[in-house]
Amino acid sequence: MQRPLPLGEKSIGVWNGVLEILSYLSLLSNTGLITLMMLRLNYFTERSILGPISFFLIILIINFYLRFFESTIFGEISYSVKELL
């Protein structure tokens, strides 16, 4: 029995969507961890829950904006670079 010949692929296919979802989940979890650490360090002086929730939402929006900004600037690899690879 002969082994099949390996064939190259031009992209990672369906895994690109999976990695995109994982990147957004990591933004959410990392923002939550930052907020929990700020609570643990007694950064919020008032006892209201609005302080940590607003902090979480502000940091989350900033992270999503930076993610969007990064994908807008760098985006996909250009065709000429793909040919070199």
The predicted structure's pLDDT at residue 74:
78
Q: pLDDT tens digits, residue range 8-34?
A: 777 777 887 888 889 889 989 999 998
The predicted structure's pLDDT at residue 71:
80
Total Cβ atoms within 10 A of residue 9: 7
The predicted structure's pLDDT at residue 41:
81
Domains of the chain, residue spans: 18-84
Q: pLDDT tens digits, residue range 44-65?
A: 777 777 888 888 999 999 988 9
Q: How many angstroms separate the Cα of 41 from the Cα of each of 11, 37, 38, 53, 55? A: 44, 6, 5, 16, 14
20: left (phi over 0), alpha (psi -120 to 50) or beta: alpha
